[in-house]
Amino acid sequence: MPIMENHNSNVSRAEEIKVLANEAFKAHKYAQAIDLYTQAIQLNGQNAVYWANRAFAHTKLEEYGSAIQDATTAIEVDPKYSKGYYRRGAAHLAMGKFKEALKDFQQVKKLCPNDPDASKKLKECEKAVMKLKFEEAISVPESERRSVADSIDFHTIEVEPQYTGARIEGDVVTLDFVKKMMEDFKNQKYLHKRYAFQIVLQTRELLQALPSLVDINVPNGSRFTVCGDVHGQFYDLLNIFELNGLPSEENPYLFNGDFVDRGSFSLEVILTLFAFKCMSPSAIYLARGNHESKSMNKIYGFEGEVRSKLSETFVELFAEVFCCLPLAHVINEKVFVVHGGLFSVDGVKLSDIRAIDRFCEPPEEGLMCELLWSDPQPSLGRGPSKRGVGLSFGADVTKRFLQDNNLDLVVRSHEVKDEGYEIEHDGKLITVFSAPNYCDQAFRSLLKFSFDVNQKGT
* CATH for 24: 1.25.40.10
37 shares a domain with 6: yes
162 shares a domain with 120: no
Tell me what pLDDT residue 456 has. Answer: 41
For residue range 361-386, what is the model confidence (pLDDT) as tens digits? Answer: 999 999 999 999 999 999 999 999 99
168 shares a domain with 223: yes
Banded pLDDT at 448 (limits 50, 70, 90): low
133 shares a domain with 154: no
Range 148-166 average pLDDT: 93
Q: Is position 457 within any domain?
A: no
267 shares a domain with 169: yes
Q: Is position 143 within any domain?
A: no
**139 has a pLDDT exceeding 70:** no
331 shares a domain with 249: yes
Q: Is position 458 within any domain?
A: no
The 10 Å CB-count burial string (b at 16+, else e) for 261-297 is bbbebbbbbbbbbbbbbbbeeebbbbbbbbbbbbbbb
258 shares a domain with 134: no
The Cα-based distances of 281 to 129, 238, 248, 254, 404 in angstroms read: 41, 19, 9, 11, 30
Banded pLDDT at 439 (limits 50, 70, 90): very low
The one catalytic residue among 92, 192, 231, 291? 291
For residue range 61-105, what is the model confidence (pLDDT) as tens digits? Answer: 889 999 999 999 999 999 999 999 999 999 998 888 888 998 999
Q: Is position 456 within any domain?
A: no
351 shares a domain with 248: yes
For residue range 300-312, what is the model confidence (pLDDT) as tens digits? Answer: 999 999 999 999 9
Mean pLDDT of the chain: 90
295 shares a domain with 378: yes
Domain count, the chain: 2
Range 297-302 average pLDDT: 92
Q: Does 291 participate in catalysis according to the annotation?
A: yes
375 shares a domain with 275: yes
Among 416, 420, 413, residue whose Cα is nearest residue 445? 420
Tell me what pLDDT residue 19 has. Answer: 96
| 116-125, 214-223, 303-312, 341-350, range with the lowest pLDDT | 116-125
59 shares a domain with 123: yes
| Percent of the residues in the chain that have a pLDDT greater than 90, as a whole number | 77
For residue range 391-428, what is the model confidence (pLDDT) as tens digits? Answer: 999 999 999 999 999 999 999 999 888 778 899 999 99
106 shares a domain with 245: no
Domain hosting residue 114, numbered range? 2-138
